[in-house]
């Protein structure tokens, strides 16, 4: 393992933002600590106090965030604390199994790749897909890719997508600016991941969906947007990225999206509330220009031409290439320590 000073540098950082539910955190830690690969670190960012009743401080690095911080804010703090070249963002409540990191880490041998989305399945119905990444309609709609599909409909090799959800994502740290936060917290937790995905694509990076990496999570656990503030943020996101699809096309489709949203919500009061939020969000032209410049990522740089081993797949259509260096990953399972085994056993007894 490489080292930095006297501290070993891991090859993977597993980052878990813990917002407000200790039981969900412990549920995820049991799974992660029992199945983590070698040469990785586990970082937990705490938005609320946690007593660590199982004394996991030797296995997990706990980082205190501002009390009540959201997912994006906790992720930004956690990424600054992570030391590995690849960061795996994993939401509380997720459940993993042995080898879930192997295929995504192999994908990062491709220097053009900035992000990988695993297959997220419904914890209560494993045959139902929660997400296979993100989609963004040019009219301004964020959607989980593949949501509601059957696992029978998911197959084949890894495919190019827009990006992963913040619920479960692998990111290459070199693809983002060292002086810039990972997520723009001003857009709120539900939109921060798609904003990052659009910025990475605009800079020339690729993202892929990896069906061999499976994570289980509750299907109804994704944050849902609603109300004035959420509508304003949605509008700000649209105007920030509208040039990517062309102004004429984007504005035409956006009008249909907003009109359809209003018609579906009317005559409920929130129809007018959301419309007002969109109008306010769309009027701040100076803000959109400033934020577009502020959050733009540097263009992707080649470290070398892709070899036959990491050459482009036919579906890789984004322009440009990814990061500046390669890493050789090892994926042997780590034997859990006695402390981790005791922790898992106590959780099993509590569940029974």
The pLDDT > 90 percentage for the chain reads: 68
Residue with tokens 């990988």: 116
Is the confidence at residue 312, as pLDDT, over 90?
no
Q: What is the pLDDT of residue 185?
A: 95
Is the confidence at residue 3, as pLDDT, over 80?
no
Q: What is the pLDDT of residues 211-251, one digit of tens each?
A: 999 999 998 754 455 789 999 999 999 999 999 999 999 99
Query: Cα separation of 186 and 292, whole Å?
Result: 13
Give the mean model confidence (pLDDT) for residues 67-86: 96
Is the confidence at residue 63, as pLDDT, over 70?
yes
Q: How confident is the model at residue 301 (pLDDT cuts 50, 70, 90)?
A: confident
Q: Is 261 left (phi over 0), alpha (psi -120 to 50) or beta?
A: alpha
Q: Can you give the pTM of this predicted structure?
A: 0.83
Is 129 strand, coil or helix? Answer: strand
Q: What is the pLDDT of residue 229?
A: 93
Q: How many CA atoms lie within 13 A of 29 on its CB side?
A: 32
Q: Which residues pair with 96 in a beta bridge?
A: 215
Chain centroid, CA 217 distance in Å? 14
Give the mean model confidence (pLDDT) for residues 121-146: 96
């Amino acid at each position: 393992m490489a080292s930095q000073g006297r501290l070993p540098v891991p090859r993977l950082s597993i980052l878990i933002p813990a917002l407000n539910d200790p039981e969900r955190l412990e549920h995820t830690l049991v799974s992660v600590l029992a199945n983590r690969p070698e040469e990785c670190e586990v970082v937990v960012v705490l938005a609320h106090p946690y007593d660590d009743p199982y004394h996991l401080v030797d296995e997990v690095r706990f980082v205190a965030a501002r009390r009540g911080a959201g997912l994006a804010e906790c992720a930004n703090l956690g990424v600054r604390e992570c030391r590995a070249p690849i960061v795996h963002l994993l939401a509380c409540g997720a459940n993993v199994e042995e080898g879930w990191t192997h295929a995504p880490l192999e994908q990062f041998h491709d220097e053009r790749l900035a992000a990988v989305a695993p297959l997220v399945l419904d914890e209560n119905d494993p045959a139902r897909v929660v997400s296979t990444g993100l989609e963004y309609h040019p009219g301004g709609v964020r959607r989980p890719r593949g949501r509601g599909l059957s696992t029978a409909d998911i197959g084949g090799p890894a495919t190019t997508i827009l990006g992963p959800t913040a619920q479960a994502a692998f990111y290459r740290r070199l693809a983002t600016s060292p002086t810039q936060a990972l997520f723009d917290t001003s857009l709120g937790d539900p939109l921060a991941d798609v904003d990052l995905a659009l910025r990475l694509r605009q800079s020339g990076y690729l993202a892929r969906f990896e069906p061999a990496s499976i994570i289980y999570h509750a299907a109804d656990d994704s944050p849902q947007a609603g109300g004035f503030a959420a509508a304003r943020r949605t509008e700000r996101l649209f105007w920030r990225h509208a040039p990517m699809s062309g102004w004429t096309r984007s504005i035409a489709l956006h009008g249909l999206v907003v009109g359809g949203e209003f018609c579906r919500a009317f005559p409920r009061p929130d129809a007018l509330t959301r419309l007002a939020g969109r109008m306010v969000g769309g009027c701040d032209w100076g803000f959109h220009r400033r934020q577009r410049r502020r959050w733009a990522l540097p263009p992707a740089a080649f470290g070398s031409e892709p070899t036959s081993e990491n050459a482009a797949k036919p579906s890789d259509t984004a322009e440009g290439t990814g990061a500046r260096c390669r890493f050789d990953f090892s994926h042997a399972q780590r034997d859990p320590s006695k402390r981790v085994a005791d922790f898992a056993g106590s959780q099993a007894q509590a569940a029974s």
